[in-house]
Amino acid sequence: MIVNISENASLFIPDKYENAVNDFVSKNKNLPLQKEGKNLTFGRYIVGSLKIDDLVININPRINNLTINHYFEMQLYNEGLLDEKVLSLLDENKGFGVQESLIALFLNTVLDLVTAGVEGEFTKNREETSLVHGKILAHEITPLNLFQDKLPIEYEVHGVNTTANKIIKLALDKVKIIEGNSSRSKLPSIINPYFEQVDADSSNLQIMWEELKFKHSFVNVYYSKALGLAKKILDDLKINFRKHETTSSSYLVNSNSIFENYARKVLKDGLRADVTKWNKPKKIGQFTLDGETIEKSYQPDVLIEYNNDLNVSLAVIDVKNKDISSLSDIGSLSDLYQIIFYSSSLDASYGGLIYPAYKKIMPTKVSIDSLREVNLFVFGIDFSVEIHRRNKQLIKDIRETFNVF
């Protein structure tokens, strides 16, 4: 049974699935969802997919014409995992759900990796032997060694049991559990033999990620992308299983944060001007009520050419993941109040609002009668065109409107 609901909506659970849903909710308390009576509700601005037994729930974006795959594509771009081949595979798999697309991307990337060659490393082994086949450790020789006619030696062995391969192996094992006996792809039977000698323990996963930080580069260019996709499978793709069979899986993400990060990264990648966001909100004031001091702070989504010493910015932008299929919804009072405050606080020459759209929207100046000195503009990112075109258009719009390069 496949059910499609909209972001920020709840789902009435049919009696047939109530026990399975109850079990899923109780086992996944960290997921942004909860069951209230007969309804399954999700956290605000959550999109993605959820599979419980044979019940598939797709949570579609509230933005008209945008799909889950649009947000998945943005997420891959944000994380540096999007290239021409990934775009092609996403297009081929656009009829699948986001979970299936992620698995297909991962398997195809690992196939490229093993085709180019699995990387290994040399490790030092130590043993006591009568057959010398390495460096003799003279300073470790004991009378017992001489009596047994054995010498301590050290030698190097080349193997594939590396940190990177262990992480990929763990993701392959998770895919194997999710896919079960699915015959949709023959790739696992081709790929898995390359990792048979890899010994990976999921309890050490966090340590592995820390170890990987010291690995500066790979000869095989496919490792970075394979590891990025493996992280998404291991961290974001949640599963529950019973007797090695998957009973449920989920891939749930926050659409607001993905769109905000996407717009900022497009500008950061495309402009020579400095594009940033504060690590922490800045305090703007406080008040005391009933003996409790309450602080208020703010944190704009995008700052262009921000000067920290002077606390001024050439331009400040707020990214709004809102449906503007009705053009009258552009620039709501709350949106305008917010960007006017940001612009005023940072003495910005320009302020901007960025919205997702499914058609071309020209940069448009917003005239505020009582604040004539404020240069406010609205921009649209056109999702009716492929990602490279819409990225270039946004960069062009910002450059020409804000006079930055």
Question: What are the residue ranges spanned by the domains of the chain?
Answer: 121-159, 271-402
Name which of 149-163, 208-222, 333-347, 384-398 the model is least confident about: 149-163
* Residue 198: strand, helix, or coil: coil
Q: What pLDDT sits at residue 153? A: 80
**Contacting residues for 397 by C-beta, under 8 A, at least 6 apart:** 362, 363, 379
Which of 140-149, 199-208, 264-273 tops mean pLDDT? 264-273
pLDDT-derived band of residue 183, with 50, 70 and 90 as boundaries? low
Cβ atoms within 10 Å of 278's Cβ, excluding its own: 13
Name which of 119-123, 207-211, 243-247 the model is least confident about: 243-247
Please check the confidence at residue 315 and state whether its pLDDT lies above 60: yes
Give the whole-angstrom CA distance, residue 41 versus residue 35. Answer: 6
Q: What is the DSSP string of 220-280?
A: STHHHHHHHHHHIIIIISEEEEETTEEEEEEEEEEHHHHHHHHHHHHHHHH-SS-EE--SS
**Average of per-residue pLDDT across 180-197:** 81
Q: What is the pTM of this model?
A: 0.87
pLDDT digits (tens, 9 = 90+) for 322-351: 999 998 889 899 999 999 999 999 999 999
**R_g over Cα of the chain:** 27
Give the whole-angstrom CA distance, residue 265 versus residue 262. Answer: 5
Give the whole-angstrom CA distance, residue 12 versus residue 102. Answer: 28
pLDDT-derived band of residue 243, with 50, 70 and 90 as boundaries? low
**Average of per-residue pLDDT across 354-366:** 96
pLDDT-derived band of residue 391, with 50, 70 and 90 as boundaries? very high
What is the overall mean pLDDT for the chain? Answer: 90
pLDDT digits (tens, 9 = 90+) for 77-119: 999 999 998 998 888 877 777 888 899 999 999 999 999 999 9
Q: What pLDDT sits at residue 297? A: 94
Give the whole-angstrom CA distance, residue 230 versus residue 76. Answer: 12
| C-alpha distances out from residue 303 to 5, 133, 183, Å | 35, 62, 49
Name which of 53-62, 315-324, 381-390 the model is least confident about: 53-62
**DSSP bridge partners of 376:** 351, 366
Q: What pLDDT sits at residue 109? A: 95
Assigned token pair, 360: 């071309």
Give the whole-angstrom CA distance, residue 311 versus residue 347. Answer: 8
What is the sign, positive or negative, of the torsion defined by CA atoms of 193, 195, 197, 202? negative
Give the whole-angstrom CA distance, residue 391 versus residue 370. Answer: 34
Please check the confidence at residue 288 and state whether its pLDDT lies above 80: yes
* Residue 107: strand, helix, or coil: helix
Q: What pLDDT sits at residue 244? A: 60
Q: Are 361 and 390 in contact (CB under 8 A)?
A: no
